[in-house]
């Protein structure tokens, strides 16, 4: 049998440095082009506001807090309103209507925050929102009590 003598190195040309140099030049060219595109930060001249002089006193808006408990009890600024079974909330509606009328007369907005306990029923929150809608109060925010 005749032995085939294959030289493994015949097909291999070795490590090619020319393509490596080409890649390095392309990368260097990329960074040189991108270096010109970098924006230089400039100082912006600005003045911060100073103390403003006022001729009269400034009125701050009082925030009204409506609390809803898990038992369905509703209170306005820590004052109990209606019974937990009442879906119409007439006492709350009357108080909110008076509050809205007084705020409109004083030309101040009415801001209401509804604080609900985590396990309070959603339907009770809807009852409170209905009472706010009757009084035409639309500045309402929501929050949940945090457990300590």
The domain spans of the chain are 63-144
Alpha carbon of 61 to those of 57, 107, 110, 139: distances in Å? 13, 10, 7, 12
User: What was the pLDDT predicted at 144?
Assistant: 78
Residue 103, token pair as written in the block? 């705020």
Residue 124, token pair as written in the block? 């009770």
- Strands (DSSP E) found in the chain: 63-68, 74-76, 79-81, 111-116, 139-144
Q: What is the pLDDT along the chain (148 residues), one digit of tens a residue?
A: 566 555 555 566 677 888 899 999 999 999 888 887 777 777 777 777 776 666 665 555 678 899 999 888 999 888 888 888 888 888 989 999 998 888 888 888 888 999 988 888 888 888 999 999 998 888 888 887 665 5
pTM (global) more than 0.75 = no
Report the distance separating Cα 110 and Cα 103, nearest Å.
Answer: 6
* CATH number belonging to domain 63-144: 3.30.420.270
Residue 2, token pair as written in the block? 């005749």
Pairing between β-strand 79-81 and β-strand 74-76 as defined by DSSP bridges? antiparallel
């Amino acid at each position: 049998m005749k032995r085939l003598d294959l030289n493994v190195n015949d097909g291999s040309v070795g490590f090619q440095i020319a393509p490596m140099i080409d890649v390095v030049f392309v990368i260097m060219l990329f960074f040189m082009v991108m270096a010109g595109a970098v924006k230089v930060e400039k100082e912006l001249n600005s003045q911060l506001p100073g103390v403003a002089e006022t001729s009269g006193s400034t009125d701050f808006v009082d925030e009204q807090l409506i609390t809803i408990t898990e038992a369905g009890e509703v209170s306005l600024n820590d004052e109990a309103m209606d019974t937990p079974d009442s879906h119409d909330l007439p006492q709350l509606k009357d108080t909110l209507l008076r509050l809205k009328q007084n705020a409109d007369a004083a030309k101040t907005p009415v801001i209401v925050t509804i604080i609900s306990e985590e396990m309070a029923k959603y339907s009770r929150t809807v009852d409170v929102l209905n009472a706010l809608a009757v009084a035409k109060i639309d500045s309402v925010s929501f929050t949940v009590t945090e457990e300590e």
